[in-house]
Amino acid sequence: MDIVIIGAGEVGSHLADILSREGHRVSVVDARPEKGKRLMESMDVQAVIGDGSSADTLNSAGASKADLVVAVTNNDMVNMLGCLAAKHLGARRVILRLRETKRLLGYRYFYKRSLGFDVVLSTQELAAEEIAATVREQHALEVESFADGRVQLRRLRIRQESELTSETLAQLRLPGGLLVAAVMRKNNFFVPTGETQLAAEDQIYVIGRAPDLDEFELLSGARKLGRRSVVIMGGGGVGREIARTLEGLPGMSIRVLERDPAVAKEMAAEFTSEVMVLVGDGSDLDLLLEERIGEANVFIATTRDDENNMVACQLARSLGVERTVAVINKASYRKIYDLLGVDQAISPRVLCANRILRFVRSSSVNSIAVIADGRGEVLELEVKRRGKGSRKVRNLGLPRGTVIGAIVRGGEVLIPSGDTVVEVGDQVILFTLPENLGVVENLFAGQTARKGA
């Protein structure tokens, strides 16, 4: 594939290294000559020095003929303008990386049409999802979020014989609005029917709303948690996103330590009383003792200062906190965190790069998630065709191995049944096998996918 990467920071360099070693033709755009020189000396890539939002620069990098353009600079506006220019130049597929997606809330599809990106990824949201799963001790092996987080796809392992393995899927009384989209049984990956009976050690992909999925996890063997006390150090983007993700969960007590009084005041006004915001530094031992931080279940350090995060996690653990989690700004520090005994060290940039790598291996420009090493894909399609007769889900003529997981209509998310009517303008989130991609895309959008080079 011909791939253009806008930005030679940690995400861009990590991607360029892996993709070039996999044999792709990679061009990297960055305004800093020293970055370009370093890339050319260490990797088999082309470096183009210039503004990543400039059409002229992108054209020089080959964006007009690119199979994929990835905008991953640290500047959200440059990434957004770069996506717009690349799409208009003729790039087949564009992935937009944002630090945070607050500006897209309520207008995601407007921005998608206007800027031309196919997938948007937020480093802050990816890190928050990963950390929130740790806090909740989720049973899920993998979580993908869609429709501003209102719909999720979770991969779960059925660890033992239970209610879930006692009857066929059609006979099971599952939480409302859930679909078992796919099953991995030993080395066999398939889309189940109502007659499928699950078995112990199956890995299953379930799509639905988060509360229903939480209930389903209990059926699949996850233990029910009691009250959880969480302390978040840092009220910046990642810290806020984690608090927002955890806020409202039953039995969750959340405290945020923010040393900037203005930021703390702003955050306190943003959240409900369930999130307590305190002014102070998480590496201040007197503060930790005064607030009895040692009694917390989880301590999460999210500041941009890696050294401060390390010290705070060490102090929290010495005071008795059960689990410590740190956000890494420099991926090279991961080994140091391990040596210091921090339970989990998460790099938002590496998470983002690894997620982008999945899309490189996908078969459709409409893919928003690639699962089971490419054996299944989740697509997001806008319904543009008015077919003949009823547009109920059961009458759409979906190929075998395809299920609709959710329909986004305006601000509403519907988990459809066979009788749900699909309307023109709906955004349909569906799971399908790769061999069905062309048929499915033509069914909804009136166009057939171009295959990757």
Q: What is the pLDDT along the chain (453 residues), one digit of tens a residue?
A: 899 999 999 889 989 988 898 889 999 999 999 999 999 999 999 999 999 999 999 999 999 999 999 999 999 999 999 999 999 999 999 999 998 787 887 788 889 889 999 889 988 888 888 888 778 766 677 778 887 778 888 888 887 888 889 999 999 888 877 889 999 998 899 999 999 999 998 999 999 888 888 888 877 776 666 688 999 999 998 999 899 888 877 788 999 999 999 999 999 999 987 899 999 999 899 999 999 999 999 999 999 998 899 899 999 999 999 889 999 887 777 677 767 778 888 888 888 887 888 777 776 777 778 888 778 888 888 888 665 555 889 988 899 999 998 998 887 888 888 899 998 888 899 999 988 988 998 888 654 333 333
Asked whether the beta carbons of 326 and 344 are under 8 A apart, the reply is yes
Q: Domain 365-445: what homologous superfamily?
A: Regulator of K+ conductance, C-terminal domain (3.30.70.1450)
Please report the pLDDT score of residue 407 as a whole number: 92
For the chain, give every residue range classified as CATH 3.30.70.1450: 126-219, 365-445
pLDDT value for 190 = 93
The CATH number for 228-351, chosen from 3.30.420.40, 3.40.50.720, 3.40.50.12780, 3.40.50.300, is 3.40.50.720
Q: Specify the fold of 2-98.
A: Rossmann fold (3.40.50)
Q: Can you list the alpha helix ranges (DSSP code H) found in 43-122?
A: 55-61, 76-89, 108-115
The one-letter amino acid at 37:
K
Q: How far apart are CA 139 and CA 154, in angstroms?
A: 9
Tokens of 310: 């390390």
Give me Rg for the CA atoms of the chain.
Answer: 23
pTM: 0.70
Q: Are 320 and 338 in contact (CB under 8 A)?
A: no
* CB 96 within 8 Å of CB 79: yes
Torsion, CA 289, CA 291, CA 342, CA 18, rounded to 10: -140
Question: For residues 146 and 153, is the Cβ–Cβ distance under 8 A?
Answer: yes
Q: Sheet harboring 179-185: ordered strands across?
A: 142-146, 151-157, 203-208, 179-185, 188-190
Closest to 324 measured CA to CA, from 300, 295, 289, 340:
300
3-state secondary structure of 360: helix
C-alpha–C-alpha distance, residues 103 and 70, integer Å = 20
Helices (H), 220-305: 237-246, 261-270, 285-290
pLDDT of residue 363: 64
The dihedral built from the CA positions of residue 345, 350, 355 and 358, taken in this order, carries a sign that is negative
- Gap between the Cα atoms of 174 and 169, Å rounded: 9
- Which residues fall within 8 angstroms of residue 407, CB to CB, at 6 or more apart? 413, 414, 416, 420, 422, 426, 427, 428, 429
For residue 38, the SS3 value is helix
Going by their DSSP bridges, the two strands 275-279 and 252-258 should be labelled as parallel
Cβ atoms of residues 30 and 93 within 8 Å: no
Residues in the chain: 453
The secondary structure element, H or E, covering residue 142 is strand 142-146
Single-letter residue type at 400: R
Q: Which regions of the chain carry the CATH code 3.40.50.720?
A: 2-98, 228-351
What is the CATH class of 126-219?
A: alpha beta
Write the DSSP string, 351-394. Answer: HHHHHHHHHHT-S-TTEEEEEGGGTEEEEEEE-----SS--BGG
> Tokens 């049984």 appear where?
185
Query: Would you state the structure tokens that stand for residue 401, as one six-digit string?
Result: 């191995």
What are the start-end ranges of the H helices in 226-379?
237-246, 261-270, 285-290, 306-319, 334-340, 348-360
